[in-house]
Amino acid sequence: MHAMAMSPGSSFAGYTVLRLLGSGGMGEVYLAEHPRLPRKDALKILPTQVSQDAAYRDRFLREADLAASLWHPNIVRVNDRGEFDGQLWIAMDYIDGMDAGRLLARRHPTGMPVDLVVEIVSAVADALDYSHRNGLLHRDVKPANIMVTNPGDEDDRRILLGDFGIARRSDDISGLTATNATVGTVAYTPPEQLMGGEIDGRADQYALAATAYQLLTGSPLFSHSNTAVVISHHLNTAPPSVSQHRPDLVDLDAALAKALSKAPADRFDRCTDFARALAGQGPALPSRSAVKNTVRATTTGTPRSSTFTSPSSGQPARSRRRWLIPAAAGAIVAVAAAATTWTALHRSPTGSTSTTPSSAIPSSSLASPAGRTPAVSTFAWPAPPPNRPPQGNCPPACNQIPDSAWIEAAALPLYKDYAWPTLAPLSEPVSSPRFKADEMCAAPPTADDERDSALAARIVLPNPPGQWQLQVQILHWRGDTWVAGQRASAVMDSATSLLRTNCSFTAPGVSVSRITEQNVPGHPGQSLTAVLTANGAAPLVAHEYLVSDLRNSTVVEVAMWSTTPPAVDWPTINDDQLLADMVAPLCTAYVNSCTT
């Protein structure tokens, strides 16, 4: 990807760039003149890192060809595609209008008129059903991908669905798309897509319903700055009703609730069926007040079941398809500040097969203190070690942080699978095992905890300088200690804040199933979100990393989730419960970011 946007007049693949239309994690979009025809196209150029992935290139080329075969009045047409100077590109019709997200923010911040939303949903639904009949799923339906021309003119208004660039053939189950199982924006992504399962047109329907909810209310279906929280809500929480924001729209609740069902089998058969129901033209649906959605968790790894129960009868209205939903799903969030220089962290010798500490954590040190309730971890600034040499031109606050802090494991009382860490200074003796700051530890299961797998991770600064490496180790509990299993790694360039999508994983069955770029509110720099999936014998596992600048040092926060959910019913869950019960960091380390 270009370090800077191309300037007007630049040439790319024969096209003449006129101006930048937008940019994001999956490339830049330019308004450009066609090399031969008197026409202006929207030219999307993918990053070099993505373009160099052979599997992604193969999928991109064949699916761009399929997208180019579509013709529908509500689909932005794909005109050409290719590769130039090491970068994939795709040319689409340029639509002179405003995307639905901007239209919402600028003209209707508290929600669009119902008639306009119904018009948008109906047009997009017709486009989606057409693409589904032609064997193509969109997988990224959201307001930003819906273009509206002449939004104030009902007679001359057009609505088009764009960006089929990450579309997928509906019959494609090959490995070419396996590593992109959760491509899409999390705010609109259905549970089955987040889980990396098989998807069909009803996945696009869920995203369209989430889009409709936002257009009607001005707010996302599930809103939170923590991506992991949003994912967990999609998997476990009944969707809020639109009438909570706009009581006059209570008649739309049932249609939205059905289209937003956790199980695809409980949604409408087609997107246009949902659109007709939203417009009040479909068959009568049970009112939302007569529906109770209960999500049950098990501790054995068996699929959950969900039932709709009528309060009047006390009997299930119908049986739902059994649906596997883990109690918590995580995302790796790494915020890399380009202006910060990382100090070299401790590295294990080449060929090491474990990132876990050599000594196991005694079970006695993990007993939960009487009366203690779950809480987000608290941090204590460590005292500087005695006789520490000065560090060049580092600011005074930075000198207060030791080069190699230690994590005290004594204060790791478990609540379900989660623990509270405290940071102990080097100069203070502790009575429990401690771990190096660049080694993230996993606590063993308690007597009533059936979790038998976890992840350990560490961040190192390999050669060449300017790139940090994330190393992940799958762990298996063997009665008295964690045994190292499969291993994986990924490299991120600190200058560009781009994670290589063609990561070389040494562990079979381990893959990055999603990588997206985003900003984390309240934290500097750019962030990356990725979901690591371990297949085969290892369960689905995920971590969250939050790296931010604090008092001229770098804080690395790690959260760990088990795939074995706790034995509780969660028909609904609020953010406070979620943060306390699920997102408590397992281990925390302060790493000095000053140069020596």
Measured distance CA(184)–CA(75) in Å, rounded: 18
Q: Indicate the SS3 state at residue 324.
A: coil
Contact call for residues 224 and 233 (beta carbons, < 8 A): yes
Please name the residue that has the structure tokens 């009568």.
284
Residue in 75, 169, 121 with CA at minimum distance from that of residue 268: 121
Measured distance CA(489)–CA(337) in Å, rounded: 20
Listing DSSP states for 45-64 in one string gives: E--HHHHT-HHHHHHHHHHH
**What one-letter code names the amino acid at 127?**
A
Helix (H) or strand (E) holding 527: strand 526-534
Q: In the structure encoding, which two tokens stand for residue 162, read together?
A: 């764009």
Measured distance CA(480)–CA(488) in Å, rounded: 24
Q: Where are the alpha helices (DSSP H) in 143-246?
A: 175-178, 191-194, 201-217, 227-236
Q: Which residues pair with 495 in a beta bridge?
A: none
Measured distance CA(25)–CA(22) in Å, rounded: 11
Q: What are the Cα distances from residue 1, in Å, to 42, 50, 336, 344, 496?
A: 17, 9, 18, 27, 9
Q: Edge-to-edge strands of the sheet including 434-436? A: 422-424, 406-408, 434-436
Q: What are phi and psi of 97, to 5 degrees?
A: -165, -155
Spell out a b/e string for 53-91, using b for 16 or more CB atoms within 10 Å of the CB, else e. bebbbebbeebbebbbebebebbbbbbbbeeeeebbbbb
What sign does the CA torsion over 514, 208, 250, 313 have? negative
Residue in 197, 223, 200, 198 with CA at minimum distance from that of residue 210: 223
Q: Where are the alpha helices (DSSP H) in 218-357?
A: 227-236, 253-259, 271-278
Please name the residue that has the structure tokens 């995203």.
207
Length of the chain counted residue by residue = 596
- Number of alpha carbons in the 13 Å side-chain half-sphere of residue 231: 30
**What one-letter code names the amino acid at 246?**
R
SS (H, E, C) 380-395: CCCCCCCCCCCCCCCC
Listing DSSP states for 458-526 in one string gives: EEE--SSTTEEEEEEEEEEE-SSSEEEEEEEEEEEETTTTEE-SS---SSTTEEEEEEEEE--TTS-SE
Is 549 a catalytic site residue? no
Spell out a b/e string for 153-192, using b for 16 or more CB atoms within 10 Å of the CB, else e. eeeebebbbbbbbbbbbbebeeebbebbbbbbbbbbbbbb
Contact call for residues 355 and 457 (beta carbons, < 8 A): yes
523 contact partners, CB below 8 Å, separation of at least 6: 335, 546, 548, 549
Active-site annotation holder among 41, 140, 417, 438: 140
Residue numbers annotated as active site: 140
